[in-house]
Amino acid sequence: MAAGRKLPQVLSLAAILITGLFGTISPVLAQDVSLNYESLSSLEEPLAVEVGDVTLVLTGLLDAPVNFDLEGDQATDADFIGNVQFSARTQLPNRWRIALTYFGQYVSDRAFVSGPDNQYTDNIAFSVGSYWGTVLVGNISGVVREQTRRLRGAGNAMLAFDNVLGGLEDDGGGYFVRFGPWVFSGMMDEDENFDFGAMYQRPTGTRDYRLTARFTDSEHVSADGTQKFSTTALSGVGEMIYGSTMWDIGAGYEYLDSDNLNVQRWYVSTGMRTKTGVLTFSIEGHYGQIESGHEASAALGIQYDLARGLSANLGLNYAESRVTRSDTRITNTKAKQASFSLRYSF
pLDDT digits (tens, 9 = 90+) for 192-220: 999 999 999 999 999 999 999 999 999 99
Rounded to whole angstroms, how far apart are CA atoms 211 and 209? Answer: 7
Q: What is the mean pLDDT of each run of 10 residues along the chain (346 residues)?
A: 43 41 41 74 81 93 89 65 93 94 84 58 94 94 94 94 94 93 95 96 95 97 92 98 97 95 96 96 97 95 94 96 92 92 92
Q: Collapse the DSSP code of 327 into the 3-class scheme (helix H, G, I; strand E, B; otherwise coil) and give the result.
A: coil
* Closest by Cα among 233, 248, 241, 253 to 150: 248
* Residue 234 burial (10 A CB sphere; 0-12, 13-18, 19+): middle
Residue 2's pLDDT is what? 42
Rounded to whole angstroms, how far apart are CA atoms 188 and 84? Answer: 25
pLDDT digits (tens, 9 = 90+) for 165-197: 999 999 999 999 999 999 999 999 999 999 999
Contact 37, 148 (CB under 8 A): no
Residue 42's pLDDT is what? 73
Residue 208, Cβ neighbours under 10 Å: how many? 15
